[in-house]
Amino acid sequence: MLKKLILLLIFSTILFFIFIGKDAFAAPLPPMLAVNHQTKECATFFAGDECMDCFPPKGWESLGISWQIECPSDYTHIGEIAFELIKCLPFKNSFCCTIDHSGAAGDCEDVVVNHEKKQCAFVDDINECQLLLTGWERAEEDEFWGRVCPSHEYEWLEDNLKCILKGGVKKTELIEKEDLMNYEFYVIVLSITVATALVILWFLFRRTSRK
């Protein structure tokens, strides 16, 4: 009986992580092994997770997953490279920019929130936005998480939200304005060409009729 209860508990735990793991937990990459050929040392380092990619410091070369590769025989294994020495590049995605997520910090400076609709989104570049659309505001900065979506219950928009750019026009309006200017230019050139041709034809017609 006890054995069945233990198996049931293990099975239930596995199912629990399968169903909620995708949305609530980041999957860290396996530790990687790096070597420094100048100092003849090797060490493991944190390679990132769903929210960032990390790389060893200058002078070090990543060889692959630590448990699949051995440190060269004439190199000294010095343990793990300090995290502050590693260069990490955060990702700009909804999971990494929602409060209380389990991963590392994401690239969340461009997160905007609509509390009335309970929605979150990214803009292309918040520093280029002069005005957000009605109901939207820049995400408040949490002391620990930074500028993130304030709740897992908020819906994330699939596409980046448009904003009024500095200068007072939207990106789409900038494109339309440029196309309109090109169109007007070609219309003017075509009109002048047609008018010139008509004038020349009129003069030729008059000279012919006088003869």
pLDDT averaged over 10-residue windows placed end to end, the chain, 211 residues: 40 38 57 96 94 94 94 95 93 93 89 97 95 95 89 96 78 44 58 73 67 59
Looking at residue 7, what is its pLDDT? 34
Which among 90, 63, 206, 190 is positioned nearest to 148, based on CA atoms? 90
pLDDT at 25: 47
How far is it, in rounded angstroms, from Cα 26 to Cα 95? 8
pLDDT confidence of residue 202? 66
Could you tell me which residues come within 8 angstroms of residue 112 by beta carbon, excluding any fewer than 6 positions away?
Answer: 120, 121, 122, 123, 126, 132, 136, 137, 138, 139, 161, 163
| All structural domains of the chain with their residue ranges | 26-90, 95-165
Q: How far is residue 141 CA from its own chain's centroid? A: 19
Are 139 and 133 contacting, i.e. CB atoms less than 8 angstroms apart?
no
Query: What contacts 76, CB < 8 A, 6 or more positions away?
Result: 40, 41, 42
> In the prediction, which pLDDT does 167 show?
75
